[in-house]
Amino acid sequence: MKFELLQPKLHDRQNFDCGDGVLNRYLRQFAQQDQSRDLSRVYVLADAQRIVGYYSISACSVKRDELPDATRVTAYRELPFILLGRLAVDKQFQGQGYGDALIMHAFKTTNEAAEKIGIFGMIVDAKHERAAEFYHKFGFRRLNATPNRLVLPFSAIRKAI
């Protein structure tokens, strides 16, 4: 198994099933379009054509006032972040640590980008409370304005890798 950018001619998107229709549909119908338009990058953990899991990342900014007090920087109104837009593991591989592997790869990708551009941290939109709990174990904290949006400062990403 290896991590690589989604390649529609190589990776079998149609048989991926994480149990969530929205996440399945994104991979099957929209992931490649987003990549082609340079809106995001979609990384897959794959065994040849078989997709074990995937995540998408893109750039975003967050208003300073939405951040938890401990992560605020007072000099700027908005701060640059990486958005972890989607993260899913196929049902046959869930509960085996692949979600952790995907997020650690996302951290490493973020670290590589941060060597070239300014990134204050990572943002994720948890689909539900169970997902929020998954992200909490990596140190993500809820934003003030949006309870399902969580933030992780880059310093915590650096420590994790």
The residues annotated as belonging to the active site are: 135
93: which DSSP letter? G
DSSP state of 73: -
Collect all residues with Cβ–Cβ distance below 8 Å to 52 and sequence separation of at least 6.
1, 44, 45, 46, 89, 90, 93, 98
Separation CA 97–CA 105 (nearest Å):
13
Rounded to whole angstroms, how far apart are CA atoms 12 and 8?
Answer: 7
- Partner residues linked to 3 by β-bridges: 45
Q: Specify the length of the chain in residues.
A: 161
C-beta of residue 91 within 8 angstroms of C-beta of residue 85: no
Lookup result for tokens 């990342």: 57
